[in-house]
Amino acid sequence: MRKTITTALAAVLFTALTACGSGGDAADDGKITMGFAQVGAESGWRTANTKSIQDSAKEAGIELKFSDAQQKQENQIKAIRSYIQQRVDIIAFSPVVETGWDTVLQEAKRANIPVILTDRAIDSDDTSLYKTFLGSDFIDEGKKAGEWLAENSDGPTNVVELQGTTGAAPAIDRKEGFEEAIKSKPDIKIIASQTGDFTRSGGKQVMEAFLKSEPDIDVVYAHNDDMGLGAIEAIKAAGKQPGVDIKIITVDAVKDGMTALADGEINFIVECNPLLGPQLMDLTKKVIAGEEVPNRVVTEETTFDQEQAKAALPDRKY
Ligand code: AHR
């Protein structure tokens, strides 16, 4: 009986503490602790993004607690709950998928721990659950890819699409933007579309299947470089020349993708900038200081054709 009462009292005390506190103690000791829940290590883009966040935190004097969710939402939710328990000052994360975040973010809000979304957005009506969203405009990226194809295709064009992770903001938005841009060109048709989960092996596997089931493929639209690079392996193994027999459009512009573009194996890349660390640390300091921050910060990016890739490659950092 006494044990039950003690346990109940401890639970009440814990709830009261997490409900009334204000995250960690940055306000008292001036030291900021950030809990960052990363998607995983699925691509060259993600590796560059992780490095940018880790390096920038160090430079900004922010203590970083970092976790890798291995592309699983349940792992990210667990990591966020653990950051709440550890009473970090701020939580930042790049959501694996768009939906299913309200409950855990309400828990962070009740514990007075501010949240910043980086890279990917969530689909929630409650915008009070996060302070700001820093990242690319994925619909615009998809549009740029589609516009290039609309300008550079002639006559009937069969496209196969390698989608990113099902339910992830960049997969949903890059598809939407691309379809929007090719709408006015009825000759361009997406004849097959499947997820390759943003990985090189996924891209290769799906492309192998497409090459078997679709005898007449003109273009691959891959939602990231890694899947495009996997598709290149499959196309070569099928005895065709990537970039010539089958044109390839990708998104990201990481070094491996840019090298394939410069070598003529990819035809066009839409940039998605992974170097979000410095802006994230800047926004973090402002949020902790109680300053106003814009609710959306869009990353600036460009596009590359083969000649532009050759020029940019020597200075490409990632
Ligand atoms: O969310 C950004 C996307 O995630 C990148 O384009 C892709 O490479 C990564 O896995």
Report residue 167's pLDDT band, with 50, 70 and 90 as the boundaries: very high
Phi then psi dihedrals of residue 109, to 5 deg: -65, -45
Task: Read off the pLDDT of residues 250-300 as tens digits, 9 standing for 90 and up.
Answer: 999 999 999 999 999 999 999 999 999 999 999 999 999 999 999 999 999
By mean pLDDT, which of 17-21, 114-118, 231-235, 265-269 is the weakest?
17-21
Query: How confident is residue 29, by pLDDT bands cut at 50, 70 and 90?
Result: confident
∠ at Cα 289 (283, 291), nearest 5°? 65
Residues 178, 162: Cα–Cα separation, whole Å: 12
Q: Is the CB of 141 under 6 A from ligand 1?
A: no
Does the CB atom of residue 46 touch ligand 1 within 6 A?
Answer: yes
Distance CA 257, CA 76 (A): 28
pLDDT band for 30, please (50, 70, 90 cuts). Answer: confident
- Establish whether residue 43 lines the binding site of ligand 1, counting it when its CB lies within 6 angstroms of any ligand atom: yes
The residue whose CB lies within 8 Å of the most ligand 1 atoms, and thus the one to mutate among 38, 42, 45, 225, is: 45
**The CATH homologous superfamily of the domain defined by 138-272:** Response regulator (3.40.50.2300)
User: Is residue 272 in contact with ligand 1, taking CB distance under 6 Å?
Assistant: yes
pLDDT digits (tens, 9 = 90+) for 205-253: 999 999 999 999 999 999 999 999 999 999 999 999 999 999 999 999 9
Measured in Å, residue 33 CA sits from the centre of ligand 1 at 26
CATH of 25-136+274-300, one of 3.40.630.40, 3.40.50.10470, 3.30.300.30, 3.40.50.2300: 3.40.50.2300
Stated pTM of the model: 0.92
Q: Nearest-CA neighbor of 226 among 189, 256, 271?
A: 256
Instruction: Report CA(219)–ligand 1 centroid distance (Å).
Output: 21
Residue ranges covered by each domain of the chain:
25-136+274-300, 138-272
Distance from the CA of 266 to the center of ligand 1, in angstroms? 18
What atom of ligand 1 comes closest to residue 45's alpha carbon?
8
Q: Tell me the C-alpha distance between 296 and 289, whole Å.
A: 18
Q: Is the CB of 120 under 6 A from ligand 1?
A: yes
CA of 43 relative to ligand 1 center, distance in Å: 7
Average pLDDT, the chain: 93
Q: Is ligand 1 within 6 A of the CB of residue 198?
A: yes
Average pLDDT of the segment spanning 22-31: 67
Establish whether residue 274 lines the binding site of ligand 1, counting it when its CB lies within 6 angstroms of any ligand atom: no
The percent of residues above 90 in pLDDT, for the chain, comes to 90
Is 50 touching ligand 1 by the criterion CB < 6 Å?
A: no
Instruction: Please tell me if the CB atom of residue 71 comes closer than 6 angstroms to any atom of ligand 1.
Output: no
CA distance 277 to 71: 20
Query: What pLDDT, in 10s, does the model give residues 63-111?
Result: 999 999 999 999 999 999 999 999 999 999 999 999 999 999 999 999 9
Pairing of strands 303-304, 268-271: antiparallel
